[in-house]
Structure 1
Amino acid sequence: MKKILLFSLLFLSFYNLFAQNVLKFNAYSISFFDKNTSKWEEEIEPVNMLVSLNFDDGKIKIYSKETQIFDIIEIYKEEKIQRGIKFRFYCEDKSGKNCYVDLVSYDDGEKQLYVRYIDLMYYYSLEFSQ
C-alpha cells in the first residue's frame, strides 16, 4: 500500500509539473557511460548549469559550455521503474542527430536527466531551480 501511495504522489507531483509550460532545473553533476566497461564512470564531475524543458516550444535545453538544444519529436507515456518514475522524450539535437532524453525521479527524491545516443550516454543530476 505504501508503494502505491508513493507512486501516486510521484505521479501527481510530476503531472502538476508537466501541466506547467516550462520546467527549470539546476544540474549539479554529470556522469558518462563507458562503453568499454559497460559501466558508468566512477568519477562524477561537478557542474553548475541550467536545464529547461519548454513544452510550449517543444525544446529541452542544457546550458553547458556549448548549449545543447533538443527538439522534442515525441513524448512517451510515463513509465514506473524499479526505484521511481521515468518520462521519456524522443528528440533531435541541433546537429540533426536523434536521441532519447529521459527525466527520472527516484523514490528518494533524486532527479536525473539522461541523454542517450547510439554511441554516447550521459546523465545530469538535478535539483529544481528557484
Structure 2
Amino acid sequence: MAKLKTLIIILFLAVGMQASAQVYRFKATGFSVLEKNEKGKWGDWSPLQKTELIITLDTKKDRIIVYSQEIQLYKIVTYQPEEENDDDLIYGFSCADEEGNPFTISIITRKKQGGRKQLYINQKNVILMYNIENYKDK
C-alpha cells in the first residue's frame, strides 16, 4: 500500500510539472539592432526592418529559439520575476548563449501603445529588438 501511495504521488507531481510547462510561439514582424561602437558607447538604433520569422519560448526545455536566417538558440538559466509599471509589463529571462556567456532576454508589453509586444535580446555589445505578436497555428 505504501508503494502505491508513493507511485500516485510521483505520478501526480510529474503530471503537475508538465501541465505548468508550455510552449509559446510569436511571429516577429520587424526588428532593429543597437550596437556599441569602438569606444564602447551605444550608437543609434538601426531603422526598423520588416521581417516574418517565428520565435519560440519553450518552458519545457528552458530555451528561446529565434528562427532567423541563422537560428538563434538561447538557454534560459533563470526566470526573473514579472515586473509591472504604468507603462510596461515585463517578463525577463536570464540566459546563456552557446558559449555560456550570460545576458538577458525580455518580453515587454507596452500598455500605453495598444498592448504592443517586443522581445529584447540584451547581449554585451549588441541589443536585438523584435516587434512580436502571438502566433496562431493554422
Give TM-score, length-normalised by structure 2: 0.74
What's 2:26 paired with?
25
What's 2:121 paired with?
115
Question: Which structure's residues are more often strand, by fraction?
Answer: 1
Task: Give the RMSD, CA atoms, in angstroms.
Answer: 1.7
Per-residue deviation at 1:38? Answer: 3.8
What's 1:89 paired with?
93
Q: Secondary structure at the match of 2:60?
A: coil
What is the CA–CA distance in structure 1 between the aligned matches of 2:72 and 2:131, rounded to whole Å? 16
What's 1:106 paired with?
110
What is the CA–CA distance in structure 1 between the aligned matches of 2:125 and 2:70, rounded to whole Å? 19
- The one-letter amino acid paired with 2:120 is Y
Asked if 1:72 is matched to 2:76, the reply is yes
- Which has the greater radius of gyration? 2
Match for residue 61 of structure 2 among 52, 57, 62:
57
What is the CA–CA distance in structure 2 between the aligned matches of 1:54 and 1:120, rounded to whole Å? 23
Query: Conserved in 2, the CA contact under 8 Å of 1:68 and 1:94?
Result: no
> What's the % identity of the aligned pairs?
23
The farther-off stretch of 80-89 and 104-113 is 80-89
What's 1:9 paired with?
none
Asked if 1:129 is matched to 2:130, the reply is no
Per-residue deviation at 1:20? Answer: 5.9
Per-residue deviation at 1:43? Answer: 1.0
Per-residue deviation at 1:84? Answer: 1.6
Instruction: Name structure 2 gaps, 5 residues minimum.
Output: 1-19
Per-residue deviation at 1:35? Answer: 3.2
What is the aligned length?
112
Give TM-score, length-normalised by structure 1: 0.78
Query: Conserved in 1, the CA contact under 8 Å of 2:34 and 2:46?
Result: no
Instruction: Name structure 1 gaps, 5 residues minimum.
Output: 1-18
What is the CA–CA distance in structure 2 between the aligned matches of 1:33 and 1:82, rounded to whole Å? 25
